[in-house]
Amino acid sequence: MSIAAVMPTYARTDVVFDRGEGAWLYATDGRRFLDFGAGIAVTALGHAHPHLVAALKAQAEKLWHTSNLYRIAGQETLAERLVAASFADTVFFCNSGAEAMECAIKIARRYHQAQGAKEKFRVITARGAFHGRTLATISAGGQEKHLDGFAPKVDGFDQVAFGNMNEMRAAITPQTAAIVVEPIQGEGGIIPADLEYLRNLRTVADEFGLLLIFDEVQCGLGRTGKLFAHEWANMKPDVVALAKGLGGGFPVGACLASEKAAQFMVAGTHGSTFGGNPLAMSAANAVLDVVLAPGFLDQVTATAEKLWAKLRPLVAKYPKIYDEVRGKGLMIGLKCHLPNKDVVEKFMAHGLLSVVGGENVVRLLPPLIIGDAEIDAAIVMIEKASAELSS
Ligand SMILES: *Cc1c(COP(=O)(O)O)cnc(C)c1O
């Protein structure tokens, strides 16, 4: 037996990063990389952002953890800010995206069951979805590669084609409690839902008394140029899961809900030992200081437009490598003809970090703070990598 001390559940690239600054990462072997993966959409403000560092340092010297047996000032502040900036009336804090989704699913079941509808527990999800790696969330995501060897599948999840309202309507039964979709599928390959589809989901959820849950763990927190991706559709969900970018690299998850959806989540119904501890809250509040500052999200949109304007012709110039560029804001997918792993590897050889996604997509998820210099550097790297790949 010779299993690695770190359980080998990842096929890791052989590089160790030592420090980061803004959009740049420095490896122990002396190489420097432009980080357009952002730790999978997590380091939304780049590395070592001075405001985040200062906030975390100050909190680290004061208080790390107390537990949810007591009031936590940072939680109350963060919850009030998220409520003020969204459809939500209340927020549960946890430590990851999967936990935020678990909370969302529990809210949906309890909403119906506390009203006497004991039969309502099923959740309709979309094919290609990703909601995390817990037993419930791999069942929600429904992807064979995530379920393999972990049977039995948790009961209560029905999958339909993403974007198809006919299938959605047909899948609703008296046991259905909720609909769960990502407004933009992330791991699935950066697939934005039609805004009309999101609005139609609202209509059908209302018609059948279902809760509408959006998983914005990847597309939320400013990545599309709005705090929440569903804002582009001008509609309100009942529950939203948030995580990745929220702590800027510190593990924080949040489940946002309307009062109607969460009215039965009373004391004792849900919990987390670490969730929302003072250290995590100082990080997330610092992230919001930046993201909610006037003009920041407009700046994200302006930055994204510049990047897209340079990416589009580049992608068109290499039709043997790329099929299309898709996504929204700084959540960008390059759908490839060549194997996406080869493209990511070639980008990395030229100093650019990116992430593979479903449907043979390469994901570009740069920190939201990139400027012209980073855009230009990335384009040069992609151009050089593409020229090499096509030769
Ligand atoms: C990453 C992700 C999750 C899971 O988040 P973890 O923090 O890894 O548990 C859930 N939903 C979406 C859309 C994600 O992108």
Give the closest residue to 238 by CA, choosing from 221, 222, 260.
Answer: 260
**The pLDDT value given to residue 294:** 98
Q: What is the pLDDT of residues 339-390, one digit of tens each?
A: 999 999 999 999 999 999 999 999 999 999 999 999 999 999 999 999 999 9
Count of domains in the chain?
2
Alpha helix stretches (DSSP H) within the chain: 38-41, 50-62, 73-84, 97-113, 135-141, 144-147, 165-171, 195-208, 259-262, 278-291, 296-317, 340-349, 372-390
For residue 178, report the distance from its CA to the centre of ligand 1, in Å.
Answer: 19
96 lines ligand 1 (CB under 6 A): yes
Domain boundary among 260, 291, 322: 291
Q: Do residues 85 and 158 both lie within one domain?
A: yes
Return the percentage of the chain with pLDDT > 70, whole number.
100
CATH of the domain at 348: 3.90.1150.10
Residue 58 lies in a domain: no
Q: Do residues 185 and 263 both lie within one domain?
A: yes
Q: What is the mean pLDDT of residues 123-142?
A: 98
- The atom number, within ligand 1, closest to the CA of 186 reads 15
**Amino acid, single-letter form, for residue 78:** L
Q: What is the mean pLDDT of residues 251-256?
A: 98
In angstroms, the CA 248 to CA 250 distance is: 6
Q: Do residues 286 and 309 both lie within one domain?
A: no
In angstroms, the CA 156 to CA 311 distance is: 41
Give the closest residue to 369 by CA, choosing from 15, 34, 27, 26.
Answer: 34
Q: Do residues 212 and 91 both lie within one domain?
A: yes
46 lines ligand 1 (CB under 6 A): no
For residue 387, report the distance from its CA to the centre of ligand 1, in Å.
Answer: 34
> Dihedrals φ, ψ of 115, to 5°?
-95, 10
> Dihedrals φ, ψ of 320, to 5°?
-75, -25
Q: Does the annotation mark 130 as catalytic?
A: yes
Q: Are strands 352-353 and 176-181 parallel, antiparallel or unpaired?
A: unpaired
Q: What is the pLDDT of residues 312-338, one digit of tens each?
A: 999 999 999 999 999 999 999 999 999
Residue 56 lies in a domain: no
Of 33, 87, 92, 130, the catalytic one is 130
Q: Does the annotation mark 372 as catalytic?
A: no
Residue 9 lies in a domain: no
For residue 314, report the distance from its CA to the centre of ligand 1, in Å.
Answer: 30
Q: Do residues 107 and 130 both lie within one domain?
A: yes
Residue 120 lies in a domain: yes
What's the alpha-carbon Rg for the chain, to the nearest Å?
A: 21
Domain boundary among 265, 291, 317: 291
**The pLDDT value given to residue 341:** 98
Question: DSSP string spanning 317-337?
Answer: H-TTTEEEEEEETTEEEEEES
Q: Do residues 165 and 244 both lie within one domain?
A: yes
Q: What is the pLDDT of residues 18-63, one digit of tens each?
A: 999 999 999 999 999 999 999 999 999 999 999 999 999 999 999 9
Residue 99 lies in a domain: yes
Q: Do residues 328 and 281 both lie within one domain?
A: no
Dihedral of alpha carbons 102, 163, 211, 247, sign: positive
> What's the mean pLDDT when you consider all of the chain?
98
Domain boundary among 291, 318, 344: 291
101 lines ligand 1 (CB under 6 A): yes
Q: Do residues 219 and 318 both lie within one domain?
A: no
Q: What is the pLDDT of residues 146-163, one digit of tens each?
A: 999 999 999 999 999 999
Residue 57 lies in a domain: no
Q: Do residues 173 and 233 both lie within one domain?
A: yes
For residue 171, report the distance from its CA to the centre of ligand 1, in Å.
Answer: 25
In angstroms, the CA 193 to CA 356 distance is: 20
Q: Do residues 277 and 365 both lie within one domain?
A: no
Q: Do residues 191 and 307 both lie within one domain?
A: no
254 lines ligand 1 (CB under 6 A): no
214 lines ligand 1 (CB under 6 A): no
- The atom number, within ligand 1, closest to the CA of 40 reads 1
- Print the domain residue range for 326: 17-49+295-390
**The pLDDT value given to residue 1:** 79
246 lines ligand 1 (CB under 6 A): no
Residue pair 226/232 in contact by the 8 Å Cβ criterion: yes
Give the closest residue to 355 by CA, choosing from 375, 336, 376.
Answer: 336
139, two tokens: 């069942």
Q: Do residues 244 and 110 both lie within one domain?
A: yes
**pLDDT over 90 at 185, yes or no:** yes
12, two tokens: 């890791």
Length of the chain (residues): 391
**Amino acid, single-letter form, for residue 132:** G
Which of 95, 139, 244 best tests ligand 1's pocket when mutated (most atoms within 8 Å of CB)? 244
Q: Does the annotation mark 93 as catalytic?
A: no
Give residue 338's region: left, alpha or beta (phi > 0; psi -120 to 50).
Answer: beta
Question: DSSP string spanning 143-200?
Answer: -HHHHTT-PSPPS-EEEE-TT-HHHHHHH--TTEEEEEE-SEESTTTSEEPPHHHHHH
Residue 283 lies in a domain: yes
87 lines ligand 1 (CB under 6 A): no
374 lines ligand 1 (CB under 6 A): no
Residue 4 lies in a domain: no
CATH of the domain at 118: 3.40.640.10
For residue 128, report the distance from its CA to the centre of ligand 1, in Å.
Answer: 13
In angstroms, the CA 222 to CA 44 distance is: 8
For residue 205, report the distance from its CA to the centre of ligand 1, in Å.
Answer: 24
Q: What is the mean pLDDT of residues 190-213?
A: 98
